[in-house]
Structures are given as C-alpha cells and as structure tokens.
C-alpha cells in the first residue's frame, strides 16, 4: 500500500472509490454554484479551512465528498447570511452599527482597561459620519466576555450598567449639537 502524503486526505466518492486530494486540489474542485456569491480566492480559503478542520481538528484521514461538501456549504451559508445582514444594515440610511463583542476581542478579552478607550474611539469614529441612529449590539455577550462569565450575575449587571453609562457619556461629550438616537442591545 502506498503511503498518503502528509498534506492529503482521502475523499470517498459516491461510486465507492477514494481519491487523495490536498487542500489546494479540493478547493479547485468545490467551487460550484457558490462562485456567483463569493470570489474565487474566498472560496479557496473556505475550502482550505474545512479541509484543515477535518484533517487536523478532527484527525481524519478520509472524508466522504458529501460530508465535505455539506460542511463547506454550512460555512458558506454562514458567510452569505452575514454578508446579507451587513448589506441590510448598510442599506438603512443614517444608521451605523458596532458590535461590542468585536470591540472586546480587539481590546483583548477580559481586559476592561483597554476596552473602554477602544469603545470611546469607536463612538468618535461613528459620530464623524453623522448618523441618525448609532447602534451598539452584543452587550450581554461583551459583558460575559470581559468578565469571563458563563452565566449572568450581579457583577455582569454592574458592568453592563457601566458600559451603557459610559456610552451615554461618550456620546454626550463627542456629539456636540448633533442629534441622533443611541441604541444599545
């Protein structure tokens, strides 16, 4: 029996045969109907990520083509929904949105010291664009990330109140005479 190359995995076809593919080879094979939604490089990278998941994360040496295609479809469907949501938000004139969970990740999870200045910078950046509605979402998730909590607690409630109060102060200080609505979810 011939040894399988380290960067390859066996793909079981519907006819019963198994064909070795590398991540680059399978990404070229899996483009299909998704090509109209995503660019070619994005599809290659998504296929490589799914390949890595099966090969390294799950430790698999072989996978059926249907299983691989299903996993890739699930990943692409998630990105398509995200792209659609971003398009919907961008199609609402005057509304700007920021994800508090993203700001926590950018400032280092569990680090309030860097989160609050990062939040003020985000408010400044958004207000420069003159929104009618400034929306911050993901508050509960951001609080739990900062504290490192699995369940909601009084400490979480206190931090949530601090964040909302800080957002109000930042908006008051930065907005000047501009009129807009602040929405925190």
Residue 2 within any structural domain of the chain = no
The answer to whether position 3 is within a domain reads no
Q: How many angstroms from the chain centroid is the CA of residue 68?
A: 21
Q: Count the neighbouring beta carbons within 10 Å of the beta carbon of residue 102.
A: 14
Domain final residue pick, 69, 89, 109? 89
pLDDT at residue 95 in the model: 84
Q: What is the DSSP letter of 4?
A: P
Please indicate, yes or no, whether residues 36 and 83 belong to a single structural domain of this protein: yes
One domain for residues 71 and 125: no
SS3 content of the chain, % helix, strand, coil (to 5): 60, 15, 25
**pLDDT for res 163:** 95
Q: What pLDDT sits at residue 33?
A: 47
pLDDT of residue 121: 92
Q: What is the spatial distance between Cα 44 and Cα 24, in angstroms, rounded to a whole number?
A: 7
Distance (Å, whole) CA 111 – CA 145 = 9
DSSP, collapsed to helix, strand or coil, labels residue 58 as coil
**Within a 10 A sphere around the Cβ of 130, how many other Cβ atoms?**
11
Domain check: are 69 and 103 in the same one? no
Residue 171 lies in a domain: yes
* Average of per-residue pLDDT values in the chain: 82
Q: Is residue 103 located within the same domain as residue 164?
A: yes
Domain count of the fold of the chain: 2
Find the domain containing 82 and state its range.
8-89
């Amino acid at each position: 029996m011939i040894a399988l190359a380290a960067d390859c995995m066996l793909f079981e076809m519907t006819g019963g045969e198994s064909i070795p593919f590398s991540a680059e080879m399978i990404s070229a094979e899996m483009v299909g109907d998704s090509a109209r939604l995503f660019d070619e490089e994005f599809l290659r990278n998504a296929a490589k990520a799914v390949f890595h998941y099966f090969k390294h994360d799950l430790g698999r040496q072989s996978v059926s083509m249907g299983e691989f295609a299903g996993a890739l479809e699930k990943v692409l469907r998630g990105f398509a929904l995200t792209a659609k949501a971003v398009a919907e938000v961008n199609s609402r004139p005057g509304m700007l949105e920021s994800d508090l969970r993203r700001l926590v990740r950018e400032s280092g999870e569990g680090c309030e010291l860097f989160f609050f200045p990062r939040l003020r910078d985000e408010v400044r950046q958004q207000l420069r664009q003159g929104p009618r509605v400034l929306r911050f979402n993901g508050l509960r998730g951001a609080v739990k990330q900062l504290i490192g909590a699995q369940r909601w607690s009084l400490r979480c409630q206190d931090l949530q109140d601090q964040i909302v109060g800080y957002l109000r102060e930042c908006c008051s200080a930065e907005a000047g005479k501009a009129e807009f609505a602040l929405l925190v979810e």
